[in-house]
Amino acid sequence: MKRNVFWGILTVLLIAGIGAGGGYWYAMRRMHTEMSAPPATPTDSPTTTPADKTETSTDRKVLYWHDPMVPGPKFDKPGKSPFMNMQLVPVYADEGADQGKITINSRTLQNLGIRIADVKEGHMEMGFTATGAVSVDERSLTAVQVRVNGYIEKLYVRAQYDTVTRGQPLADIYSPDWLAAQEEYLVLKRSTLPGADGLAQAARQRLVLLGISEAQIQRIEQSGQPAPRVTVHAPDSGIVWELAVREGMSVNPGMSLLRLAALGSVWVNAEVPETEAALVRPGSPVTARTSAFPDAIYKGTVAALLPDVNATTRTIKARIVLANANGRLKPGMFATVEFGSAAKPALMVPSEAVIHTGKRTVVIVAEDGGKFRPVDVEAGRESSDMTEIRKGLTAGQKVVASGQFLIDSEASLKTTLTRLESAQSPGTNDAAPGKHTGSAKVNVIDAAKGKIDLNHGPIPSMKWPAMSMGFRVEDKSQLSNIKPGDEIEFELRGEPDKDGDYTITRITRKSAKAAK
């Protein structure tokens, strides 16, 4: 009998222990779940998420879902934000007109110095200017050569770039070949033998082929004596572009003594930007000015657009031919060339209104009610501080012409202007500049990592709705005075850190009376 009583008591104790252990395990599991999950709002139900409830309670069309704190990415279905510990918020079709717009009050507009300009139709001047350097017209270069062996006995031109005129003596050359040819001609000319006249004419033609001028041959015929030295004359006026001989040097057939460059016309090799190359065509009229003669205007034409692009400057050389009758333009001078082109109708905005981000070209459109929105455009040419807009705008719209430094993207613009407006509106936020205040209930505390999870109420200064999310605490020691379930007031910075976390700078536990 005692043995049966003992085993009965032992069985009751075992059952009680198992029940207590199971209850403890269930209670701890439920507590952990409640601390980790976002607390339900009064309108939530155990089986319906806020997004689901919104869809079932209204017939409004949902365009997409997004995270209000990271408004850029868009999602095609509801769920939890991958950025914050909160549900995605729907954007409805009847709200779509204002999506991406930023509203700025008139006081802020004035303080920021934002200037508005009209999108207007006009005629875009297609001309442009380019710089270049004057050089000789290489088609006018003349080589002075000899066709016999000989020696330079006297040189009349002694330096490069000396100016010469047509017919001017250049050098006296002694050549045995020339002397022998002259003697042969004179002998045949004086001969009375049959057939001597024909041979004399052949000898005279030989003198011409050896390079002796007609005037020199006539002097030989008049004097009846051969000239041991022959003078080489300038075939045209110009400058000595190259000088290859000196007095006493020997010469041989085909050797260039010097090269002459005529300056009646010159070239200007203008550096045309690659983007303007389509406007340059051979035969197009141009005008040029030089810094040496700023009041003089030289007219010319485009001779050619050279098939060579400078990889460093991204320019193409345009060969311009300018008339230079007075010879004032010298090789090496800098010139500014104006390329003219007929104006064409275009939609234009001030060039300063166009923002080039590298991948996009954007303008900020100003709408009624102080609203602004970024618009992608296709920009064309620039002329006189105006830029052609090919796509994206219509005449009559207004764009922001100054103050775009505040704009980096739609999200950053919205954040920046929100802070500016809140800072200028009295009573909106009592925190220090750049900081915001709120109240919350503590969910979970991780003192080792300096993190805290809060169920906070709306924060109007940051346009945040009530939600549950985690924060980083700047001073970990402040976590020692609070515990899960406490009602607190806090102050946080308006910008996330490099890890994307918002930082709480101050935590104050509400009084016991307020907590109740």
The CATH number of the domain holding residue 370 is 2.40.420.20
Is residue 220 exposed (0-12), middle (13-18) or buried (19+ Cβ within 10 Å)? buried
CA end-to-end span of the chain, whole Å?
58
Residue 419: helix, strand or coil by DSSP? Answer: helix
268 is written with which tokens? 């200007």
Please give the Cα distance from 320 to 288 (Å, whole number). Answer: 9
Quick check: is 120 in a domain? yes
Of the residues 193, 228, 254, the one at which a domain ends:
254
Same domain, 201 and 165: yes
Same domain, 378 and 311: no
358 is written with which tokens? 């590298």
Please give the Cα distance from 339 to 130 (Å, whole number). Answer: 8
- Please report how many Cα atoms fall inside a 13 Å half-sphere around the Cα of residue 249, on the Cβ side: 13
Cβ-Cβ contacts under 8 Å for 192 (sequence gap 6 or more): none
CATH number at residue 479: 2.40.50.320
Same domain, 300 and 201: no
C-alpha separations of 485 from 354, 443, 452, 454 in Å: 53, 6, 12, 10
CB 437 within 8 A of CB 491: yes
CB 461 within 8 A of CB 429: yes
Please give the Cα distance from 243 to 259 (Å, whole number). Answer: 7
Quick check: is 227 in a domain? yes
Same domain, 132 and 108: no
pTM of the model: 0.46
pLDDT value of residue 425: 45
| Ordered per-residue pLDDT tens for the chain, 516 residues | 444 444 454 444 444 454 444 444 444 444 444 344 444 333 333 333 444 444 444 567 787 887 766 666 788 888 877 776 677 878 776 555 555 566 666 766 666 677 889 998 887 777 788 999 999 988 889 999 888 899 999 999 989 889 899 989 999 999 888 889 888 888 888 888 888 888 988 989 988 888 888 888 888 888 888 888 888 999 888 889 999 999 999 999 888 899 999 888 899 999 998 888 888 888 888 999 998 888 889 999 999 988 888 888 899 999 999 988 888 888 889 999 988 766 678 888 998 888 887 778 888 888 887 778 888 898 887 777 888 898 889 888 999 887 766 544 443 545 544 444 444 444 444 445 567 888 999 999 988 888 999 988 888 887 788 888 889 999 888 888 888 999 999 998 888 887 778 899 999 888 644 444
Quick check: is 424 in a domain? no
Quick check: is 422 in a domain? no
191 is written with which tokens? 């001969």
Same domain, 152 and 222: yes
Of the residues 213, 229, 254, the one at which a domain ends:
254
Same domain, 369 and 295: no
CB 168 within 8 A of CB 156: yes
φ and ψ at residue 406, rounded to 5 degrees: -80, -10
* DSSP for 159-217, written as a single string: STT-EE-TT-EEEEEE-HHHHHHHHHHHHHHH--STTHHHHHHHHHHHHHHTT--HHHH
The stretches of 233-294 forming alpha helices (DSSP H) are none
CATH number at residue 167: 2.40.50.100
> 214-218, long-range: CB within 8 Å, 24+ apart, which pairs?
none
Same domain, 121 and 91: no
DSSP type of residue 466: S
Same domain, 162 and 193: yes
Full domain range(s) for residue 208: 147-254
pLDDT value of residue 46: 36
Number of domains the chain is built from = 6
CATH number at residue 307: 2.40.30.170
Same domain, 242 and 168: yes
Of the residues 254, 279, 295, the one at which a domain ends:
254
pLDDT value of residue 345: 82
pLDDT value of residue 42: 35
Quick check: is 7 in a domain? yes
CB 491 within 8 A of CB 504: yes
b/e sequence 70-83, b meaning 16+ C-beta within 10 Å: ebeeeeeebeebee
Quick check: is 365 in a domain? yes
pLDDT value of residue 406: 58
Same domain, 82 and 120: no
Quick check: is 420 in a domain? no
Quick check: is 425 in a domain? no
pLDDT value of residue 18: 45
Same domain, 243 and 377: no
Please give the Cα distance from 374 to 419 (Å, whole number). Answer: 19
Same domain, 442 and 473: yes
